[in-house]
Amino acid sequence: MSTQCSPCVSAGVVCIRSAKLQRNRKRKSFYENEGIEQRRTTTTSQTQGHSPSNPFPLQQDVSTSGTSVSPSNTIPELRPASATRSQTTGGRSHVSASGRKPTSEPIIGHMGRLVNDDQGVAMFAGTTTGVHFVSQAEQQVQMLRMNSAHSQFPSCVYSLHLHDLWGYTSRPPSDSESIRSIVSSLPLDAEAILLAAIERWTPIYPIMHKTTTIQAFRALVDESTPLTGESIVVLHQVLGLLALGSLGYQGHCTRDHYHFLCLSETHYSTSATILDKVLERPCLQTLQSLEIMQIYLQVSSRNTMASHFGGIATRLAQSLGLHRHSHRFRFDPLETELRRRVWWCQYSLDTYVFGIALDKLMLTIKLGSQAHTTACPVLFGTKMLTQTCPRALTTIYSPGPTLPFLCLVKAHR
Amino acid sequence: MLENLYTTTRRRGGVAKILRLQAELDMWARSLPGGASSATAGDGSLESNTANDGAMAPTEASFEHSFLKVVLCIATIQVHRPALSFTSPDPQSTTSLHISKRASATLVKILAAGLEPADSESHLEGLLLSLLYPSGAHMLWQAGLTLLYAHWKLRLAVQSNADSSISSEPEDNETVQRCVLALRRLGDLTAEADSGHRLGQCADVLDMLRDKTFPQHLGTDNVTQEASAPRLVDGWDQVSWNVWDWPMESVLEFTNSMDVAPLDFFNSPGLT
């Protein structure tokens, strides 16, 4: 062996990795701590300050470093070694993740996964949905080589709990006319108001990505661009941003008072007419829209409504898997960062419900501080962050406008 | 009640949690009307009184009675399923496998009885039983899968002489067949082309696995049965419960990093 694998290097043990690829073997499990423990006892002089009771300092480093995200913290240690294990014979006597303790105690190893719903949106399937059990069964089928023609289970078996048996969600949307009608009544300077609203609220609630939002808006108002299933959600986002961006404007109000909500209410009322359609499309964009609405409902003193929207939004955030660390999933850099920001925005919004109604506190008490593992959003702005922008390139940019928001996030953590 | 068992931060002490929860389930089951406790005996014994329980159609047993039994079955499955994901072998895993298998069989019988051809009123209640939380098409399918999974695990244990008990194959084969038929029936009743296709696809998977698991020509000759049963592949750990030996291929890999454990996996402070 010319090189050692990174897990063994970090643990300070002799690497027994074999370069021989064995296609029919199981993929090497990074968490074979039994083997590492045995090798550590024979090379104690090579350990470098790692406690025997803690054979996975890398994982702890990752977990503790989750509070401060650095673009250089690419955490390569989480990726498995490229080579498969060298020994997979039945003679292995220790296949136990609990072997690191003198007394063997089984650990519950189930884990939730993302599965696509009927609309192709990735939804988090917790272990209570049975997704982990199904994957275990799939593993058994492959190990037993029960069906060589099709070794994988079809995706439908994993998302059966999300499947709409009656087909309502898969029907083509019938709201094109209403969307076009609402779009035609938008103010002429709507794009400017959107930009101003995003810039105004990003420092404390970086819910929206400016470039993506403006592009979606332009596509929405362009009559030559066909409407999609997400058009209704984009429209709801636009109306919410217009409501926030129109605070303090008179509009057509003729009353003699301080005009705070006069113009904003028109946009909010319009958004309320399409809310049911929006809720039928659970996705990240819908969650963003709900967060915008919560902010407006707060400033318009509709506290109960804000709390109710918060409940819907919180449940949706968990359904989308935003409460789980981004390394679990495969999203592009832009979506990864957006997911983090949207999660922490909702966390903040839910936390502040505490000041209104203690019994309605959901995330901060129900989940607890350890039940969500979402990393902090990044410090810099997302102007240059694209779907294909590698994480490493983001180190050159100066801190963006989200610094106040990050201060709030750290306070929550 | 299940929060402690499905927590992501305290993954140890699973055996104690399961035993405690099963005891609470037993207490709750004894309070149910109609002797629903016979559906899932928590003592791990294979003796079951479910021969008649699951065969009762909703019209014979009240809808509420059937619903409570469905809830009990699913709660039992949820309590014992984490034991199937233990990262190291433990006697509780085998016990939980037996209990899950029995609860799954009962669940299939109840839901299948409600979906079998009958008058429209029975269809309505049968559909309600299959659709109301905590039930669902996914629970019906997973119940059938649990029966097969139990056979794979227990049969391998027999081959390794680790466990000499194995349930009757013809009865389980028939139960899985009923599960397949119930899924197809559910697809027909929902009457949407895509839904029927989706459920039909799931039923096909289950039927294929059933055909591979239970030899077509079941006889009294053990040699014939063993020759047709799934065999160990070379070098595979016979009692490998290690969940982190992921399969080579899975549709889950598309959106999930299959090689990454959750960061909270190692945050467990110890026994709770």
The one-character DSSP state at B56 is -
Q: Of A311, A314, A332, give the one whose Cα is nearest residue A322.
A: A314
pTM: 0.72
Q: Which residue of A has its CA nearest to B91?
A: A106
Question: Phi and psi for B86 in degrees, rounded to 5?
Answer: -60, 140
Give the residue ranges of DSSP H helices in A246-355: 262-273, 275-279, 284-299, 303-319, 333-352
Chain A residues inside the 8 Å CB shell of B87 = 96-98, 106-109
Contact list in A for residue B212 (CB cut-off 8 A) is 146-147
Residue of A203, A204, A278, A291 whose CA lies nearest to A241:
A291
| Residue that the structure tokens 């085998």 belong to | B94
Are A281 and A120 a contacting pair, CB within 8 Å?
no
When pLDDT is averaged across residues A157-175 and rounded to a whole number, the result is 82
Token output for A367: 């989940």
Residue type, A163: H
Which of A2-16, A361-375, A386-400, B89-103 has the highest average model confidence (pLDDT)? B89-103
Average pLDDT over residues A298-306: 91
For CA atoms A5, A9, A11, A12, the dihedral sign is: positive
Whole-angstrom distance, CA of residue A3 vs CA of residue A17: 9
Between CA B239 and CA B250, with CA B245 as vertex, the angle to 5 degrees is 120
Sign of the torsion angle spanned by Cα atoms B170, B175, B177, B178: positive
- For each of chain B's 272 residues, which pLDDT tens digit applies? 677 788 777 788 889 999 999 999 999 989 887 655 544 444 433 333 443 444 444 445 688 889 999 999 999 999 999 999 888 888 899 999 999 999 999 999 999 998 887 666 677 888 889 998 899 999 999 999 999 999 988 877 766 655 444 556 789 999 999 999 999 999 888 865 666 688 999 999 999 999 988 876 444 444 444 444 444 444 334 444 455 555 557 877 777 877 666 655 555 454 33
Q: How far apart are CA A31 and CA A98, in angstroms?
A: 11
CA distance B225 to B216: 9
Of B201, B240, B266, the CB nearest to A154: B201
Given an 8 Å threshold on Cβ–Cβ distance, is A165 in contact with B247?
no
Q: In B, residues 194-223, which contact A (CB 8 Å cutoff)?
A: 194-195, 198-199, 201-202, 205, 208-209, 212-213
Fill in the DSSP letter of residue A331: -
Give the CA distances from residue B183 to residues A47, A85, B69, B136, in Å, rounded to whole numbers and listed in that order: 56, 40, 19, 11
> Is ipTM beyond 0.85?
no
pLDDT in tens, A38-90: 555 554 444 444 444 433 333 333 333 333 333 333 333 333 333 334 333 33
What is the separation of C-alpha B179 from the centre of its chain, rounded to a whole number of angstroms?
Answer: 11
- Concatenated DSSP letters for A149-167? S--SPPGGGTSTTT--TT-
Residues of A in Cβ contact (< 8 Å) with B79: none
| pLDDT computed for residue A129 by the predictor | 92
Instruction: Return the number of other C-beta atoms located less than 10 Å from residue A403's C-beta.
Output: 11
Instruction: Answer yes or no: are the C-beta atoms of A194 and A241 closer than 8 Å.
Output: yes
The shortest C-alpha distance from B185 to chain A (Å) reads 12
Other Cβ atoms within 10 Å of B80 Cβ, number:
29
Residues B93 and B86 sit within 8 Å (Cβ to Cβ)? yes
Cβ–Cβ under 8 Å, residues B49 and B43: no
Across the range A222-246, mean pLDDT stands at 93
